[in-house]
Amino acid sequence: MSHEIKIPSVGESITSATLGTWHKNEGDYVKAGEVILTIETDKISTELESDKSGILKHLAAEGDELDIGSPVAAIEEGEAPAETEDSTSEESEPEENDSSPDAGTAEELSQDEVKVTPVARKVAEDEGVDLSTVNGTGAGGKITKADVLEAVSESDSTQAESPAAKSTAPKEEKRTTRKKMSPLRKKIATHLVNAQQTSAILTTFNECDMTEIMELRKRVQEDFVKRHGVKLGFMSFFIKAVVDALKAVPSVNAQIEGDEIVENHFFDIGVAVGTDKGLMVPVVRDCDEKTFAQIEQDIIDYAGKAREGSMGLADLQGGVFTITNGGIYGSLLSTPILNPPQSGILGMHSIQQRPIALNGEVVIRPMMYLALSYDHRIVDGKEAVTFLVRLKECLEHPDRLLVGA
């Protein structure tokens, strides 16, 4: 009996997903609960497990974009083939007993006779790899995508290390490299373009003297770590300051839905996190009710999930405002793009020692540029500037965050 595995629903706003990677080959016997493939959306990657035991059949290829609910694989239910072990030993006997030591090996097979997965065959064609020279590590000696990529790598290293190849081969320099966009990168690109086209994005700037925050952190850091087990970073100050500014200017904590304005009365703040696959924005919940230590712990937990690739859809949904820190990469000034349907995003930047005028004197202070991008359809310029000034005041006088002044 054949059982279909379909693309599951991974969120209300997500209508399609891209098949990222097959973890099991066509024709493999899989057990219920085994991971067979990974799908990718513009937010997360999700592993799909087989809910039945049987022979796997691929119904889509890597890179295909499928609607939610579309079949992606089929399982021919049944027990594991009893003859697998015997047939394997029988197939290996001729290699040991044949008078010709090379008889029946992969080296003598033609391209069409080699056992190979569809994905591996396509990669081999693209890279110009002779499949008859590749040793398969899949079930029954089948050549997998990993086997082909390893053969490509070995070929490249052999050519690079061969002095003869260096002296006789003509010098070829690649002036360009072309590679296909990853499914996640395509989704991110579409998301950003849509944000530009559907919102009236404007950015206002200010700068912040970080002296007080830096001195406060230095004074309490040791005791803070002993008591809470986490370091007191800058991000918790910025999140608390954003909450204060959102309370002072409620229009920034609102969004447009159709012809209605929805004003939020909660403070779930998204914090942009860079990963190998792209930018993710996990959401720190109820920031108005959490302590600095709780916020720092949430950020650490999300950073761990991002590294492990275990971020869930629930971690990324429901934010009302986003903070992105380009300063960790050395950015001095930028204009961040909105994260729809939110109406505001704050850009943090590098802290630099700069001369400023203070009380009639020129002094050197650690300064940071702040950038607030906002949706001008719902937030007026006066409100945006008021928000950023309030944020600046909270950061330059962090004691206000502690007493609510």
Average pLDDT per run of 10 along the chain, which is 405 residues long?
Answer: 82 74 89 87 78 89 85 84 50 44 41 66 78 75 76 66 51 77 76 88 97 96 96 96 97 94 96 80 95 96 86 88 94 94 96 95 97 96 97 94 69
Measured distance CA(398)–CA(345) in Å, rounded:
21
Secondary structure class of 348 (helix, strand, coil) = strand
Residue 195: both structure tokens together: 């944000």
Residue 131: both structure tokens together: 């499949």
68 phi, psi to nearest 5 deg: -60, 130
- Check if 380 is active-site: yes
Measured distance CA(220)–CA(222) in Å, rounded:
6
Angle at which helix 381-396 crosses helix 211-228, to 10 degrees, equals 60
pTM beyond 0.75, yes or no? no
Which one of 3, 191, 228, 376 is the catalytic residue? Answer: 376
Q: Which of 82, 75, 64, 80 is nearest to 24 (CA)?
A: 75
| Helix residue ranges per DSSP H, 229-291 | 234-248
Measured distance CA(358)–CA(293) in Å, rounded:
33
Q: Write down the pLDDT at residue 391.
A: 97
Measured distance CA(270)–CA(318) in Å, rounded:
9
Q: Write down the pLDDT at residue 172.
A: 58
163 phi, psi to nearest 5 deg: -65, -35
Domains and CATH numbers, the chain: 2-77 (2.40.50.100), 95-166 (4.10.320.10), 183-403 (3.30.559.10)
Q: Which of 284, 319, 317, 313 is nearest to 300 (CA)?
A: 284
Tell me how many helices (H) and strands (E) the chain has.
11, 19
Measured distance CA(60)–CA(66) in Å, rounded:
9
Q: Which amino acid is at 44?
A: I
Q: Which of 232, 320, 326, 306 is nearest to 269 (CA)?
A: 320
| Helix residue ranges per DSSP H, 98-176 | 118-127, 145-161, 163-168
Q: Which of 371, 396, 354, 345 is nearest to 237 (CA)?
A: 396
DSSP 168-197: HSPP---S----PPPHHHHHHHHHHHHHHH
Which one of 67, 228, 380, 399 is the catalytic residue? Answer: 380
Q: Write down the pLDDT at residue 210.
A: 97
Q: Write down the pLDDT at residue 84.
A: 47
